Structure 1
Amino acid sequence: MRGVPIRLRPPSRRPPAGPVPVASAAEARARGLLRRPALLLALPVVASCVQQGDLGRPAPTAWNSLIDAAGTLAARERGEPSSFFPYTDDERILRDRSWRYLMPARDRSLFDNALDNLTRARVLPAEWRLSDPRAYLDAILAEPFRSPVSRYRRLSDDLTADGRLIPAFAETAARVVRADLTRLRSLPFIRTLDDRDVRSAAMRVAENRCLIAWVRRETAARSDSYRTALEHLLVAVPSEEAVGAERALAFLESRRRLLDPLLPADAESRCGLAPAPEEGPQAGLVTKG
């Protein structure tokens, strides 16, 4: 697994030899959308109308499919890994399960949420949004709570929810990585593929791995934000509820390490992502005091 390089840019801008597959209806509409600047500028507004499914994921509607297709095209124009191969069942599940970690943990304005969704879909590049460890803290402090205890419980609930969903994502990601290895190993033995097929296969492998790397980085960033919130609450409004929040943070940290063996340690930088925040001190803010 570690010996397969991640190719971030296509080797050539020239159209490959061989027949060009017919794009899906959503892809065709997305192409037209990206060529019309007025509509592209309106995307952040209309994206706010994205219908939500279970676990905060987008519902499978025609509009959501259009946003995802537009994201594939936008990423391709930026030179990022993108393939028009249809998703396997596991690849689709992987993208569904990544939703929670690619969207911010805190509540934001309608417009900001729309931009975050466009970033998740890759219409906007991942690096346009600066990481702010205090954003989650500011959000929970801004909410009207009758007691500081409620803020601790909100923090514990978010930590626990994040930790519980990581094993399912890691299991799906491991299956996708194994399938990608099978895909790459079979390429030299299949003689009916043209250059476009080979390139699309390589791009899908890189696309999958960079998605996993992105989620791995975002889980680290979320953990950093949660720790910042816990440290501030512990000083500003000490409470016995901090013990439960610290245990939930330790739970998230233990689950987050399930993502480490999936990819090389430098996968984030090879995918053009900023490095994850450095891991803070281990749990013990409350129990060691």
Structure 2
Amino acid sequence: MVRIASIAVSLLLSACAQEGDFGRPAPSAWNSLVATTGTVAARYRNEPASYFPFTDDERTLRDRAWRFLMPAAEREAFIDILANLTRTRVLPPNWRDDDVTTYHAALISGSFRSPVSRYRRLSDDITADARLIPLFVATAARVADADTLRLRSLPFVKSLDDENIRQAAMRVAENRCLVAWVRLETGVRSERYRYALQHLVIEVPSVEGVSAERSLAGLDGRRALLDPLLPLEAEARCGLVEAPAPQAALPIVAKY
């Protein structure tokens, strides 16, 4: 299994990820291969990963999660590749760059005519995140409703074997952990935006900072829409953050 992941890394380093509109993965045999490899790698790590086909809403949920699971600003190609490998689960989700300074560093890198352009880019990125959150939340709610129906229907389908039941439970956990991951990453992105704004105000003061501050407040307000989707401990139960010992070993499906 490690060999499979290593081959995928080598291939991505040579060809990079193929992107479609809005930075989402383009539909192609290449990206399908990477996604399949990620599912296999996740199963090897005992993470929830079902071989069931995705519903339309499950696929849309993953498309809308893309923005939050990739870097907020262009950085070194190698880091972007690692981020894509993490998003597709070839690498574990708890491998990620927690450095709050990275967005600011990418924002001010290179030459630019006016500092105003940096403030506007910051505001645009924050606003784009804020606009996407309600769409993600609406899709996540539909997926959760479908998962509830799935679980409630299990006792009534007598022809299911143990593997069918296991795959259903894994898909429910997989969907919930994806939502938990996005909720975690929206908080990380907000912290990076705040760091960038605070440092821009010191480095190149401008009244444009007021607009960026308002955009950031709007993002934080919409981030709250993610909270009712899952219990607060979901990130820990999915292995995204360190969990207290008594809860770490409990299966996520049993809790909800």
TM-score computed with the length of structure 2 as normaliser: 0.91
The answer on whether the counterparts of 2:147 and 2:172 sit within 8 Å (CA) in structure 1 is yes
Mapping 1:1-289, distance limit 5 Å: 35=3, 39-46=7-14, 48=16, 50-274=17-241
Q: Aligned partner of 1:181: which letter?
A: T
Q: Distance in 2 between matches of 1:181 and 1:47?
A: 40
Q: What whole-Å deviation, never above 9, does each CA across 1:2-61 have from its counterpart, x for those lacking one?
A: xxxxxxxxxxxxxxxxxxxxxxxxxxxxx8xx655762441341451x221111101100
Computing the radius of gyration from Cα coordinates, the structure with the larger value is 1
Q: How far 1:176 sits from its partner (Å)?
A: 0.3
Q: Please give the alpha-carbon distance, in whole angstroms, between the structure 1 residues aligned to 2:145 and 2:99.
A: 34
For residue 42 of structure 1, what is the amino acid of its counterpart?
Answer: S
Aligned CA distance change for structure 1 residues 47 and 124 (closer, same or farther; 3 Å): farther
Distance 1:247 1:86, change over 3 A: same
Gaps of at least 5 residues in structure 2 are 243-256
Q: C-alpha deviations, 1:140-164, integer Å up to 9, x for none?
A: 1113211111111110010011111
The one-letter code matched in structure 1 to 2:221 is S
2:5 touches 2:37 (CA, 8 Å); kept in 1? no
Q: Does the 8 Å CA contact 1:47/1:114 hold for their aligned counterparts?
A: no
Unaligned runs of 5+ in 1: 1-30, 276-289
Q: SS where residue 191 of structure 2 aligns?
A: helix
Residues 47 and 117 in structure 1, CA contact (< 8 A), matched pair in contact too: no
Report Cα offsets for 1:104-138 as digits up to 9, x if no partner: 10211222211111110000011222311100001
Aligned-partner Cα distance in 1 for 2:53–2:5: 27
Which is richer in helix?
A: 2
Question: Given residue 158 of structure 1, which amino acid in structure 2 is its aligned partner?
Answer: D
- Distance, in Å, in 2 between the alignment partners of 1:167 and 1:214 is 16
Query: Contact between 1:166 and 1:255, CA under 8 Å: does it hold in 2?
Result: yes
Q: Which letter maps to 1:45?
A: L
The count of aligned residue pairs is 242
CA contact (8 A) 1:47 1:118 kept: no
Distance in 2 between residues matched to 1:151 and 1:83, nearest whole Å? 42
- Structure 1 counterpart of 2:253: none
Q: Secondary structure at the match of 1:146?
A: coil
8 Å CA contact 1:90–1:172 kept in 2: the answer is yes
Q: How far apart in 1 are the matches of 2:241 and 2:47?
A: 15
Question: Cα offset for 1:256?
Answer: 1.1
